[in-house]
Structure 1
Amino acid sequence: MTDQTWPDERLVTAAREGDSAAIAALVSGSYPHVRRFAHTLCASAEDAEDAAQEALIILYRKIGTLRASGALASWVFRIVRNECLRQWRMMTRQLEPVPDLAVASAEDEAVRRLEAGRVAAVIAALPTDQRRVLIMRDVQGYSGRMVADVLGLSVAAMKSRLHRARATVHQQLRNTSHPTQERSGHDD
């Protein structure tokens, strides 16, 4: 069984004063807490490991700047939180489309807006549970695990709702994309 307590204040004080053995013990003693916190906050296991490593590196480099020995946990958790947020921002920037430098015609822009409006209307008509999953997964780009965790679902339940939502959107868009076919049978 692992020790679930943070390193004591004497060790933190010695580390703040530059004792290299104390710094090493402080970093290794903080690791389980930092890692566990990162896994609850970051979008993926890889991001959590990166955030935990970054927090421990900062702890190692800047332990001398910590003002109060008792503030270690909140200081390190703030570092982890900031690192997870930084990674999330980087991920969302990568998901943004690269702007097309070609100027669209007014007709192209009107068609694009009509299509976006159709898609938005179909998504808005979905049941709330399906709409939330679809938006978080496909629009916001969250991982399946994160969507499931945020919504309090199992991954299997999240995948089922996502599949139903995508199938409904696909079917509704296909049904509304050919209005002339629907009317052609009633024109007699």
Structure 2
Amino acid sequence: MADAGGWPGERLVHAAQRGDVDSIAALVSGAHPHVRRFARTLCASPEDAEDAAQEALIILYRKIGMLRASGALASWMFRIVRNECLRRARVLRRDPVPSGDETVLSAEEEVLRRLEAGRVAAAIAALPADQRRVLVMRDIQGLDGRTVADALGLSGAAMKSRLHRARSAVRCELRAAPETVLGGIGE
């Protein structure tokens, strides 16, 4: 009942969306390792990562019916985890614990960093599904090329080609109009 990328399969997602309690439990359990991995790469601390992963799984449990396309579970969960990590970072910035060796970003730097993170996420979300899967598995989940190719039923060359196209598309999107990021700031 898991798809090639290790995420719970569409049939399980559909059953969970219909309210089947066993399917919901299996869906949350199957998504848990992936959500934890996302959170560890995105959050500032291991504690925040665990909290963000738990919050994301609670949202999955409560709002699975809101997922429009059952094949979009991984990107939906990535957005939830990213938003939760950002929320936790904002709370931390409002009530910081001084350590003496931390680099504090100015308000302008923080805004620009957030805008850039949002642009990257939007560029990844805009990729065709086959390219997005390869990019997420390889660059976000950190899986090696052979594992990604095997999981998606691709040759090594095909996986590398899709990954190259995905990275190029994201790069082009990010270079497309950098002035639109600032949206007139400082003018």
**TM-score, L = length of structure 2:** 0.51
C-alpha deviation, 1:95, in angstroms: 2.7
Q: Which runs of 5+ in 1 are unaligned?
A: 98-133, 141-188
Q: Which amino acid aligns with 2:12?
A: L
1: CA distance, partners of 2:39 / 2:91? 17
User: Of the two structures, which has the highest relative contact order with CA contacts closer than 8 Å and spacing of 6 or more?
Assistant: 2
Q: Which amino acid aligns with 2:104?
A: V
Q: Deviations over 1:68-124 (max 9, x none)?
A: 100111111100000000000000011399xxxxxxxxxxxxxxxxxxxxxxxxxxx
Which position in structure 2 is the counterpart of 1:43? 44
C-alpha deviation, 1:4, in angstroms: 6.2
**TM-score, L = length of structure 1:** 0.50
**Pairing 1:11–2:49 present:** no
1: CA distance, partners of 2:75 / 2:62? 17
| Aligned counterparts, 1:22-37, within 5 A | 22-37=23-38
Which position in structure 2 is the counterpart of 1:137? 102
1: CA distance, partners of 2:96 / 2:75? 32
- Deviation >4 Å, runs of 4+: none
| Aligned counterparts, 1:27-176, within 5 A | 27-95=28-96, 137-140=102-105
Q: Which runs of 5+ in 2 are unaligned?
A: 106-187
2: CA distance, partners of 1:137 / 1:28? 36
Number of residue pairs matched by the alignment: 101
Percent identity between the aligned chains? Answer: 71
RMSD after superposition: 2.2
Q: Which amino acid aligns with 2:16?
A: A
**Pairing 1:21–2:22 present:** yes
2: CA distance, partners of 1:16 / 1:93? 37
Task: Determine helix, strand or coil for the equivalent of 2:19.
Answer: coil
Which position in structure 1 is the counterpart of 2:144? none
Task: Determine helix, strand or coil for the equivalent of 1:139.
Answer: coil
C-alpha deviation, 1:137, in angstroms: 1.8
Q: Which amino acid aligns with 1:24?
A: A
Q: Which amino acid aligns with 2:46?
A: A
Name which one, 1 or 2, has greater alpha-carbon Rg: 1
